[in-house]
Amino acid sequence: MFNKVLHKQVPQELQKLQTITEAIQNFDVRFPVPGSQNQTGSILAIDCEMVECKNEIGASVQMLARITVVNYNGYVVLDQYYKPRFKVRNYITRISGITPQIIKDKPVYNDFEKQKLQLLFKDKTIIGHTLKSDFDAMEFDLFNESRLFEIRGGIKQYSQLNKGLKKMCLKYLGQNIQQGQHSSEIDARATLFIFRKFRNEINLHYKQLDLEQDKQRIQKKNSQKNSKNQRKRSQKEVLNKESENQRKQCNEPLSRNDQQKQVQIQKKQISKKKSS
């Protein structure tokens, strides 16, 4: 059963998506299920709703207004609205479902809120449909503490996944979503369930990818080690050369002028001793 905290403007879609939650057991009994209703688990699906804002230099930017995170069982881990820190130019309500009233008293999305999301995502597998857009809205750079999988073109071999979420949901889950305003909760669940349907093939691909990445990491590590050793050898050669030059300078005979200077110094020292 879906969580009760739902977007009120999409009751028909929620009713349709209930069958997805129930049908999940039909195609996913092969896989262990990390997480339950109250657990985060190691796999999270996300979806964001954005509004159009005007930034400090007057450029148009898409900024985060809502994010929903669901765990592997489809339960909501986080469903949060945010007020953008820049002036909203267009709420895009017909698609995003966001209105001024909805986000009026919500927290401003700032560095603190961003760090909370990063902490939630750390060491998790993050599933999304358009992760680049979502991560841009969250103002994340390449998030290297998570494994990311974008079902739309995330794996090029799977041409059947290189479609819009609405088409994929209809084709693979038999549900027609996004008929009006979008709901990040519904889209996150749909994304997750499509991922689960193809997870066996995805895991195989990632296993091969990990082997290749491990090989590249080993090669990089060896290359760095060789470079470090080369630098040490070069430094040692420079030091040896400097020492050799110093020894040569010490063994070189004094010039005539230097010899005369030394004789004068010695005479002065002798005369001082006699006078004393």
pLDDT per residue rounded down to tens, the chain (276 residues): 333 333 444 445 555 455 544 544 444 433 334 444 556 678 899 999 999 999 888 889 999 999 999 998 888 899 999 999 999 999 989 888 899 999 999 999 999 999 999 889 888 888 888 888 888 899 987 555 567 777 654 444 444 454 677 777 777 777 776 666 778 888 898 888 888 887 766 665 555 555 555 556 666 777 777 777 777 777 777 776 776 666 666 665 656 676 677 777 777 777 776 666
Q: What per-residue confidence (pLDDT) applies to 142? A: 58
Q: What per-residue confidence (pLDDT) applies to 216? A: 66
Answer whether 103's CB lies under 8 Å from 81's CB: yes
Q: What per-residue confidence (pLDDT) applies to 90? A: 93
Answer whether 109's CB lies under 8 Å from 85's CB: yes
Amino acid at 208: Q
What is d(CA 28, CA 125) in angstroms, rounded to the nearest whole number?
A: 18
Distance of CA 8 to the CA centre of its chain: 32
CATH topology of domain 11-197: Nucleotidyltransferase; domain 5 (3.30.420)
Rounded to two decimals, what is the model's pTM?
0.58
Q: What per-residue confidence (pLDDT) applies to 155? A: 40
What is d(CA 119, CA 140) in angstroms, rounded to the nearest whole number?
A: 12
Question: SS3 for the chain, per residue?
Answer: CCCCCCCCCCHHHHHHHHHHHHHHHHHHCCCCCCCCCCCCCCEEEEEEEEEEEECCCCCEEEEEEEEEEECCCCCEEEEEECECCCEEEECCHHHHCCCHHHHCCCCECCHHHHHHHHHHHCCCEEEECCHHHHHHHCCCCCCCCCEEEECCCCCCCCHHHCCCHHHHHHHHHCCCCCCCCCCHHHHHHHHHHHHHHCHHHHHHHHHHHHHHHHHHHHHHHHHHHHHHHHHHHHHHHHHHHHHHHHHHHHHCCCCHHHHHHHHHHHHHHHHHHHHC
Tokens representing 27?
Answer: 């195609």
| Residue 222, φ and ψ in degrees, nearest 5 | -65, -40
Q: What per-residue confidence (pLDDT) applies to 179? A: 65
Residues in the chain: 276
Answer whether 130's CB lies under 8 Å from 152's CB: yes
Q: What per-residue confidence (pLDDT) applies to 105? A: 93
C-alpha dist (Å) from residue 273 to 260, 266, 267: 20, 11, 10
C-alpha dist (Å) from residue 86 to 107, 110, 220: 13, 11, 42
Q: What per-residue confidence (pLDDT) applies to 201? A: 66
Instruction: Count CA atoms closer than 13 A to 271's CA, side-chain side.
Output: 6
Delimit the domains of the chain by residue range: 11-197
| Contacts for 63 with CB less than 8 Å, ≥ 6 apart | 50, 51, 52, 53, 84, 85, 86, 88, 109, 137
Tokens representing 190?
Answer: 């749909």
